[in-house]
Amino acid sequence: MEKEKELELKKLEIEKAKVYEGILRTLVFTILTLGAGIGTVLYRLYSSKELDSLIISILSTFVIVFSITALWIYLRIHKILKEV
């Protein structure tokens, strides 16, 4: 009886982690797509030589920081799944 309860709790933890993973994946794609769209609009609006490098560096920094954060969260979710 005790083992069945532990097994059910582990199954619930796995399902919870899978839901978090799906939400994270959706958010990553949404935010990166939104960032690319806004970046394109800004690039087209302010396409002077001085602002090109500034806009590209800001958008690149945003994408790198967001990608590293998303990867870190993704790896933590998989660590939880392996522990269970």
Is 72's pLDDT higher than 70? yes
Identity of residue 59? L
**Backbone φ, ψ for residue 38 (5° rounding):** -65, -40
- pLDDT at position 54 is 75
Q: What is the pTM for the complete model shown?
A: 0.56
Residue with tokens 């998303």: 70
Identity of residue 55? I
CA 30 to the chain's CA centroid: 9
Q: How many domains does the chain have?
A: 1
Is 64's pLDDT higher than 70? yes
Cβ partners under 8 Å of residue 56, min gap 6:
43
Run of H or E residues at 9: helix 2-45
The stretch 34-47 carries a mean pLDDT of 75
Domain that holds residue 16: 2-83
Is 4's pLDDT higher than 80? yes
Confidence band for 39, pLDDT divided at 50, 70 and 90: confident
